[in-house]
Structure 1
Amino acid sequence: MKSAASHPIRSASGFGVFGPVGSGPVLTRENPANTAETVGELRTNTVEEVDAIVRSAETAQRVWSRQSIQQRIDQLLSAADAVGETTAELSVVLARELGKPVADSAGEMGFAAAFTRYVTDHAEHVLATTYLDDAAGRVQVDRVPFGVVAAVVPWNAPLILASLKVGPALVSGNSIVVKPSPLAPFAVTAALEAMAGALPAGVLSVVHGEAAVGQALVGHSRVRKVAFTGGEAVGRSVLATTAQHITPAVMELGGNDAALVCEDSVFDDTFIEGMIFGALLTSGQVCMAAKRLYVPQSRMDEFVDRFVEVARRVLVCGDPLNPAVTVGPLVSAVQVAKVSGLVAEAASAGATVTPLGTLTSEFDPERGYFLQPTLVVAENSMAIVQTEQFGPTVPVVGYRRLDQAIGWANDSDLGLASSVWSSDEDHAFAVAQRLEAGTTFINCHNRAGMSLRVPFGGVKRSGFGREFGEAGIAEYSQTHAIHLPGTIRDGQGSARLYPQG
């Protein structure tokens, strides 16, 4: 039987702010670092409640969209301040429900406020009406909201991935209904509650539940845009549902990111630490983590030795509430089994598996979902290289020619992110242009390569649409063009003429 935490979270879905109090089954979440401990519980929503919340959001959106951009900006700045005040408390909640080290969890909380402020700084430029008036005619192009946006966010970075959708949607005049993952519902819901307190009722809402609730949300006839971050299998299901109403979507799906190390690289501590955390932040459970490393065969031994040496110092595995810990548990037993299976399969096929890091006394696989990080010297054809592992293991493959490494990197159905590592910046950029990815980092990977101003999203089966940057704001509005042709205005036009100008 699970024991209660010292401060378990007990809440009704919606906290009385977001809409009808949930009357569905109770959702209970265990602490992945100590599965005998219950982090909290909440009531999920029924399909009927989802319908009521969406319709309430539609009503609220009509009023919200009539406010000026500056009015919306002012309220979102208040919302950013409100969520910023929750950082200390909710970073601990996030660490307990997700297993993310508490320092990283605090950073995620800070991101929610920072990105909202970025959105408010750039919204007027992105959403500005454009005008053209000349002999060819008069044109006015407004950017207008979609209406109700449905956002489905995963468990691995719930605050970040919700913020990337909430701020742009709201500043553009939409309302938004967010569905968090059942594996990490508490911190993100409490943060959104804080934001909602600074906004008109119904503009920002949350629903909770399993797949049926998600399907009811994204398939609702009054939802006008869907924003989804998650795996390809669920993404396919979401797209099949949105197709019933021709609902547009922005989809950020999985990645199997390649990191290409060039021959001229210097394997100093900064370089190696960048590669380690580029692969293993959040125990490797990050969509844009480096998931396969390509290193010159002539330098493989040197690279592996340095990787293992530095990892022993910087990877500290244990309880995420321990401030010294940099690698916590995985999110679930399912993830442990998947990653362990890939490592075991690679070892049986002849790969060399080297354990990484230092284990604290709290690291106890019998107590939590712990798995020691590993470096796997592998062949490119192995499943551990060709599969998105989403865990604390990273394969390294030796290449003999740079063209061979580029070919391997591009030989994937996925194309979220990639990286190039070189002492020659111009050479790195030239190599990056040959990679098939939505984003390519230079001499970094993962969180270190992200910027609020740089658009992020995938190519191929890693999705479509963009988050971050001004492109991420523009995703949540559409153009309305108003046009008076010059020939019509001058009385010289004909209904049968082809377009002019």
Structure 2
Amino acid sequence: MIARENPARIAEIVGTVVAATPGDVDRIVRWADGEQRAWAARPIADRLTVITEAAARIESAIEELAELLARESGKVVGDCRGEIGFAVRYLRWVVEHAPAAYADRDTDDERGRIVEQRRPFGVVAAITPWNAPIILSVLKIGPALAAGNAVVVKPSPLAPLTIDRVVALFDAPIRAVHGGPETGAALVGHELVRKVAFTGGAAGGRAVAALAGDRLTPTVMELGGNDPAVFLDDATFAGDVMDRLVMASFATSGQVCMAAKRLYVPLARLAEFVSSYREAAGRVLRTGDPLSAGVTMGPVISAAAQRAARALAPPDAIPLGTFDADPATGYFVRPSLVVAPDPDSPLVAGEQFAPIVPVLGYTSEDQVLAWANAGELGLGASVWSADEGRAFAFARRFEAGFTFVNTHNRTGMSLRAPFGGVKRSGWGREYAAEGLAEYVQTCVIHAPAAFRPGAEPGGGPSAYPAH
């Protein structure tokens, strides 16, 4: 049994789920495999109707689900409501775009006839993290089910409760299994799992890749980022700009893969930036119980996360915002800004996943670009400038899967724009057509012109294109 505590009130047990044994995983995967063929044989319109109905059920339960998610994850209830609402909108987007994405392509011309089918893999294993468990699961569930796959979801044991309820709202071949690494290994390594979709940290990604590679199981991964936010020398530090930047760093207590984790400012304007940033934090940043009105940042996820965050903050860290919390009764960490740390320190060089943010002054664009592109994580970035053309030109030089201009937050993400990473950050392409394509494989039926009925004899090898 897995008992989940409330990170804001650690004496409170929010709920429990049953931990799956390897035998349980085997039984559930075999059930999913048995159901998948009948599911795939249904017209896509039927499958999309099921997804539409699930989206409506999730939407009708959004208040209850948001409160549960806030209690198990420590995320502010308004952010939980926003996450679940976005998941509903994403499911409806899948329903709108899946028919075109999964339709056969039939070409019949002088070269012959080719039918390109978009066919499901079979059973998809979805391994998802705790920091945004609903949207990061639905990004996999929606397209996988629409394409005709069955899905087995393994959420993090740090946030298993809400996604367990969401999965139950789908009248489709989908189940959740709960547990730690042993459960994940049994799922990823199962002989009937035909595709693995993973979002999480680098260590988990390596373990998943090793298991999947042993069976040559295809994977889609998004591993995280240490996202830089670069202010060019003409950038404004006006109130609304800084307000958005502060929340881009401290939403979900900084525990977001695409948070603004490293701030770079012209050295000559560093003092001005720090002053503006502190003022903005005073306006928008209030740490406390995530269910309380006006709170914009809750606790970190666990005692281990609390210890790690404290270790990152040097004695001269600048405390930010209003702090209405007791670190003795919840996993709260005072949000802080660290000015001019060592660029090679863990706070700068690693993905801190904590409400401790560094700001560094730079002297040239070449220097800041080298700093921003340092490291093996390349998920996202942002560039800020009064000249949008200049910002786009600079953004082209980032080694990042996506770059925001004059913002750095999730509200700027469009369903039209895929995101992923370069270097070792993973190549996830969720939120867009690329995400739909991850859950089908192309199978071709080909009748070369030379061998079709009525073709002149002797066509033979000449029917094949030259290379």
- Aligning the two structures, in what range does the TM-score lie when normalised by the shorter sequence? over 0.9
Note the alpha carbon deviations across 1:84-118, whole angstroms, 9 max, x for none. 11111111111111000111111111122111001
Query: Could you say which residue in structure 1 is the equivalent of 2:50?
Result: 75
Matched, 1:440 2:410: no
1:291 to 252, 258, 261: 261
Please list every run of at least 4 consecutive aligned residues from structure 1 whose deviation after the TM superposition is greater than 3 angstroms. 495-501
Aligned to 2:168, the other structure's residue is in SS state helix
Query: Could you say which residue in structure 1 is the equivalent of 2:114?
Result: 139
Note the alpha carbon deviations across 1:421-475, whole angstroms, 9 max, x for none. 1111111111111100111111111313222221121111111231111111111
- Give the Cα separation in 1 of the matches to 2:94 and 2:85: 15
Aligned to 2:459, the other structure's residue is in SS state coil
1:457 to 415, 420, 426: 420
Deviation at 1:488, TM superposition (A): 2.6
Residues 278, 448 of structure 1: 8 Å contact kept: no
- Give the Cα separation in 2 of the matches to 1:385 and 1:64: 48
Structure 1 gaps of 5+ residues are: 1-25
Deviation at 1:497, TM superposition (A): 7.4
The 5 A counterparts of 1:156-195 are 156-194=131-169
Residues 128, 154 of structure 2: 8 Å contact kept: yes
1:342 to 279, 300, 312: 312
Note the alpha carbon deviations across 1:34-66, whole angstroms, 9 max, x for none. 111111112211111111110111111100101
Residues 136, 500 of structure 1: 8 Å contact kept: no
- Give the Cα separation in 1 of the matches to 2:107 and 2:81: 47
Query: Could you say which residue in structure 2 is the equivalent of 1:426?
Result: 389
Structure 2 gaps of 5+ residues are: none
Number of paired residues?
463
The 5 A counterparts of 1:207-356 are 207-344=177-314, 347=315, 352-356=316-320
Matched, 1:499 2:465: yes
Aligned to 2:178, the other structure's residue is in SS state coil
The 5 A counterparts of 1:116-155 are 116-155=91-130
- Give the Cα separation in 2 of the matches to 1:153 and 1:493: 53
Note the alpha carbon deviations across 1:209-243, whole angstroms, 9 max, x for none. 11111100011010000000100011100010001
Deviation at 1:498, TM superposition (A): 5.3
Aligned to 1:142, the other structure's residue is in SS state strand
Q: Which amino acid letter does the alignment assign opposite residue 367 of structure 1?
A: T
- Give the Cα separation in 1 of the matches to 2:416 and 2:462: 45
- Give the Cα separation in 2 of the matches to 1:460 and 1:99: 31
Note the alpha carbon deviations across 1:178-203, whole angstroms, 9 max, x for none. 01111111111111112x2xx24xx1
- Give the Cα separation in 1 of the matches to 2:342 and 2:181: 37
Moved more, 210-219 or 123-132: 123-132
Residues 86, 191 of structure 1: 8 Å contact kept: no
- Give the Cα separation in 2 of the matches to 1:342 and 1:281: 18
Note the alpha carbon deviations across 1:344-379, whole angstroms, 9 max, x for none. 3xx5xxxx421001012xx00011100010011123
- Give the Cα separation in 1 of the matches to 2:205 and 2:52: 32
Aligned to 1:107, the other structure's residue is in SS state helix
Moved more, 458-467 or 252-261: 458-467
Moved more, 36-45 or 158-167: 36-45
Aligned to 1:122, the other structure's residue is in SS state helix
Moved more, 443-452 or 423-432: 443-452
Moved more, 401-410 or 481-490: 481-490
Q: Which amino acid letter does the alignment assign opposite residue 212 of structure 1?
A: E
Query: Could you say which residue in structure 1 is the equivalent of 2:321?
Result: 357
- Give the Cα separation in 2 of the matches to 1:216 and 1:423: 52
Alpha-carbon RMSD: 1.3
- Give the Cα separation in 1 of the matches to 2:449 and 2:383: 51
Deviation at 1:494, TM superposition (A): 2.6
- Give the Cα separation in 2 of the matches to 1:465 and 1:324: 34
Aligned to 2:375, the other structure's residue is in SS state coil
Query: Could you say which residue in structure 2 is the equivalent of 1:369?
Result: 331
Residues 242, 276 of structure 2: 8 Å contact kept: yes
Aligned to 1:89, the other structure's residue is in SS state helix
- Give the Cα separation in 1 of the matches to 2:465 and 2:193: 34
Note the alpha carbon deviations across 1:268-325, whole angstroms, 9 max, x for none. 1111012111111100000111110111111111100000011011000100010210
Q: Percent identity?
A: 50
Q: Which amino acid letter does the alignment assign opposite residue 244 of structure 1?
A: D
Aligned to 2:129, the other structure's residue is in SS state coil
Note the alpha carbon deviations across 1:378-414, whole angstroms, 9 max, x for none. 2322221001100101101111111111111111111
Matched, 1:109 2:72: no
Q: Which amino acid letter does the alignment assign opposite residue 281 of structure 2?
A: A
1:395 to 344, 351, 358: 358
